[in-house]
Protein backbone atom coordinates (compact mmCIF):
# COMPACT_ATOMS: atom_id res chain seq x y z
CA UNK A 1 0.00 0.00 0.00
CA UNK A 2 1.39 3.42 -0.88
CA UNK A 3 1.20 6.32 1.58
CA UNK A 4 -1.91 7.88 0.01
CA UNK A 5 -3.81 4.58 -0.03
CA UNK A 6 -2.79 3.84 3.54
CA UNK A 7 -3.99 7.30 4.63
CA UNK A 8 -7.38 6.69 2.95
CA UNK A 9 -7.68 3.32 4.65
CA UNK A 10 -6.74 4.76 8.06
CA UNK A 11 -9.30 7.53 7.63
CA UNK A 12 -12.00 4.97 6.85
CA UNK A 13 -11.06 2.85 9.87
CA UNK A 14 -11.05 5.85 12.21
CA UNK A 15 -14.38 7.11 10.91
CA UNK A 16 -16.34 3.82 10.78
CA UNK A 17 -14.77 1.34 13.22
CA UNK A 18 -16.96 2.27 16.20
CA UNK A 19 -20.18 1.82 14.21
CA UNK A 20 -18.88 -1.46 12.79
CA UNK A 21 -17.94 -2.63 16.28
CA UNK A 22 -21.43 -1.87 17.59
CA UNK A 23 -22.98 -3.88 14.79
CA UNK A 24 -20.62 -6.79 15.38
CA UNK A 25 -21.44 -6.66 19.09
CA UNK A 26 -25.17 -6.86 18.42
CA UNK A 27 -24.56 -9.88 16.21
CA UNK A 28 -22.16 -11.72 18.48
CA UNK A 29 -23.26 -10.62 21.96
CA UNK A 30 -19.62 -10.61 23.07
CA UNK A 31 -17.30 -7.59 23.07
CA UNK A 32 -14.12 -9.58 22.40
CA UNK A 33 -15.65 -11.64 19.61
CA UNK A 34 -17.06 -8.43 18.05
CA UNK A 35 -13.58 -6.88 18.08
CA UNK A 36 -12.19 -10.00 16.40
CA UNK A 37 -14.91 -9.89 13.74
CA UNK A 38 -14.24 -6.25 12.89
CA UNK A 39 -10.48 -6.70 12.93
CA UNK A 40 -10.70 -9.68 10.58
CA UNK A 41 -13.06 -7.84 8.24
CA UNK A 42 -10.80 -4.79 8.16
CA UNK A 43 -7.80 -6.99 7.41
CA UNK A 44 -9.66 -8.50 4.46
CA UNK A 45 -10.62 -5.00 3.32
CA UNK A 46 -7.02 -3.78 3.55
CA UNK A 47 -5.94 -6.54 1.17
CA UNK A 48 -8.60 -5.48 -1.36
CA UNK A 49 -8.79 -1.74 -0.63
CA UNK A 50 -8.22 -0.55 -4.21
CA UNK A 51 -10.69 -3.09 -5.67
CA UNK A 52 -13.65 -2.40 -3.36
CA UNK A 53 -16.19 0.21 -4.50
CA UNK A 54 -18.10 0.51 -1.20
CA UNK A 55 -15.75 -0.31 1.70
CA UNK A 56 -18.37 -0.09 4.45
CA UNK A 57 -20.75 -2.46 2.68
CA UNK A 58 -17.86 -4.84 2.05
CA UNK A 59 -16.81 -4.84 5.73
CA UNK A 60 -20.39 -5.30 6.95
CA UNK A 61 -20.91 -8.22 4.61
CA UNK A 62 -17.68 -9.86 5.80
CA UNK A 63 -18.67 -9.32 9.45
CA UNK A 64 -22.11 -10.89 8.93
CA UNK A 65 -20.79 -13.83 6.94
CA UNK A 66 -17.94 -14.49 9.38
CA UNK A 67 -20.38 -14.42 12.31
CA UNK A 68 -22.75 -16.86 10.60
CA UNK A 69 -19.79 -19.12 9.81
CA UNK A 70 -18.73 -18.98 13.45
CA UNK A 71 -22.25 -19.94 14.56
CA UNK A 72 -22.24 -22.88 12.18
CA UNK A 73 -18.84 -24.09 13.37
CA UNK A 74 -19.71 -23.70 17.02
CA UNK A 75 -23.08 -25.40 16.82
CA UNK A 76 -25.79 -24.59 19.28
CA UNK A 77 -24.83 -22.30 22.10
CA UNK A 78 -25.43 -23.90 25.47
CA UNK A 79 -26.22 -21.05 27.81
CA UNK A 80 -28.07 -21.20 31.04
CA UNK A 81 -30.75 -18.55 30.84
CA UNK A 82 -32.59 -17.40 33.91
CA UNK A 83 -36.20 -16.34 34.02
CA UNK A 84 -35.49 -13.02 35.72
CA UNK A 85 -32.47 -10.76 35.87
CA UNK A 86 -30.65 -10.80 39.20
CA UNK A 87 -31.50 -8.06 41.68
CA UNK A 88 -29.70 -4.82 41.02
CA UNK A 89 -26.81 -3.98 43.30
CA UNK A 90 -27.19 -1.35 45.99
CA UNK A 91 -26.23 2.07 44.77
CA UNK A 92 -28.03 1.89 41.42
CA UNK A 93 -30.85 4.33 41.06
CA UNK A 94 -34.21 2.83 40.19
CA UNK A 95 -34.16 4.22 36.66
CA UNK A 96 -30.72 2.70 36.02
CA UNK A 97 -31.87 -0.67 37.30
CA UNK A 98 -34.81 -0.59 34.89
CA UNK A 99 -32.49 0.15 31.98
CA UNK A 100 -30.15 -2.64 33.02
CA UNK A 101 -33.08 -5.06 33.30
CA UNK A 102 -34.30 -4.06 29.83
CA UNK A 103 -30.79 -4.49 28.41
CA UNK A 104 -30.52 -7.96 29.95
CA UNK A 105 -33.96 -8.90 28.63
CA UNK A 106 -33.02 -7.82 25.10
CA UNK A 107 -29.66 -9.61 25.23
CA UNK A 108 -31.16 -12.84 26.54
CA UNK A 109 -33.96 -12.83 23.98
CA UNK A 110 -31.56 -12.10 21.10
CA UNK A 111 -29.19 -14.84 22.28
CA UNK A 112 -32.01 -17.38 21.94
CA UNK A 113 -32.71 -16.52 18.30
CA UNK A 114 -31.11 -18.40 15.44
CA UNK A 115 -28.17 -16.85 13.58
CA UNK A 116 -30.15 -15.76 10.52
CA UNK A 117 -32.99 -14.25 12.56
CA UNK A 118 -30.54 -12.38 14.76
CA UNK A 119 -28.67 -11.08 11.73
CA UNK A 120 -31.90 -9.92 10.08
CA UNK A 121 -33.02 -8.06 13.21
CA UNK A 122 -29.61 -6.48 13.67
CA UNK A 123 -29.58 -5.23 10.09
CA UNK A 124 -33.21 -4.11 9.96
CA UNK A 125 -33.64 -2.50 13.38
CA UNK A 126 -30.18 -1.77 14.75
CA UNK A 127 -28.63 -0.71 11.45
CA UNK A 128 -31.99 0.55 10.13
CA UNK A 129 -31.29 -0.83 6.65
CA UNK A 130 -34.01 -1.35 4.05
CA UNK A 131 -35.11 -4.91 3.26
CA UNK A 132 -33.43 -4.88 -0.15
CA UNK A 133 -30.04 -4.02 1.33
CA UNK A 134 -30.43 -6.64 4.06
CA UNK A 135 -31.23 -9.21 1.37
CA UNK A 136 -28.14 -8.18 -0.58
CA UNK A 137 -25.86 -8.40 2.48
CA UNK A 138 -27.19 -11.79 3.54
CA UNK A 139 -27.38 -13.16 0.00
CA UNK A 140 -31.09 -14.00 0.07
CA UNK A 141 -34.35 -12.67 -1.33
CA UNK A 142 -36.38 -9.76 0.05
CA UNK A 143 -39.17 -12.25 0.81
CA UNK A 144 -36.78 -14.26 2.98
CA UNK A 145 -35.82 -11.11 4.86
CA UNK A 146 -39.51 -10.31 5.45
CA UNK A 147 -40.36 -13.81 6.65
CA UNK A 148 -37.27 -14.07 8.87
CA UNK A 149 -38.06 -10.66 10.37
CA UNK A 150 -41.65 -11.64 11.11
CA UNK A 151 -40.60 -14.97 12.65
CA UNK A 152 -37.84 -13.36 14.70
CA UNK A 153 -40.15 -10.67 16.09
CA UNK A 154 -42.81 -13.27 16.91
CA UNK A 155 -40.18 -15.36 18.70
CA UNK A 156 -38.92 -12.31 20.60
CA UNK A 157 -42.47 -11.54 21.71
CA UNK A 158 -42.83 -15.10 22.97
CA UNK A 159 -39.42 -15.16 24.68
CA UNK A 160 -39.72 -11.71 26.24
CA UNK A 161 -43.33 -10.54 26.47
CA UNK A 162 -42.18 -7.27 28.06
CA UNK A 163 -40.58 -6.42 24.70
CA UNK A 164 -43.74 -7.20 22.69
CA UNK A 165 -44.14 -3.55 21.75
CA UNK A 166 -42.09 -3.26 18.52
CA UNK A 167 -41.25 0.32 19.42
CA UNK A 168 -39.48 -0.78 22.57
CA UNK A 169 -36.80 -2.54 20.52
CA UNK A 170 -36.22 0.52 18.38
CA UNK A 171 -36.24 2.87 21.36
CA UNK A 172 -33.65 0.80 23.21
CA UNK A 173 -31.17 0.18 20.39
CA UNK A 174 -28.48 2.13 22.20
CA UNK A 175 -28.96 -0.01 25.31
CA UNK A 176 -27.80 -3.12 23.45
CA UNK A 177 -24.52 -1.62 22.32
CA UNK A 178 -21.38 -1.94 24.45
Is residue 83 a part of any domain in this protein?
no
**What is the pLDDT, as a whole number, of residue 107?**
81
Q: How confident is the model at residue 91 (pLDDT cuts 50, 70, 90)?
A: very low
Angle at 59 between CA 57 and CA 62, to 5 degrees: 110
**What is the pLDDT, as a whole number, of residue 41?**
93
Q: Is 97 exposed, middle or buried (0-12, 13-18, 19+ CB in 10 A)?
A: middle
Q: 132 near 142, Cβ under 8 Å? A: yes
Q: What is the pTM of this model?
A: 0.51
Q: Are residues 116 and 167 in the same domain?
A: yes
The enclosing domain of 141 has a CATH number of 1.10.10.10
Amino acid sequence: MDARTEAEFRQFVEARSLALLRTAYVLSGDQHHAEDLVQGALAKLAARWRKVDDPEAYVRRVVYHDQVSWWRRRGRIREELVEHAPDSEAGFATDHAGRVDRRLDVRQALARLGPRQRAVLALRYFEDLPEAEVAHILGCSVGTVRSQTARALARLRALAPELADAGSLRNHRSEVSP
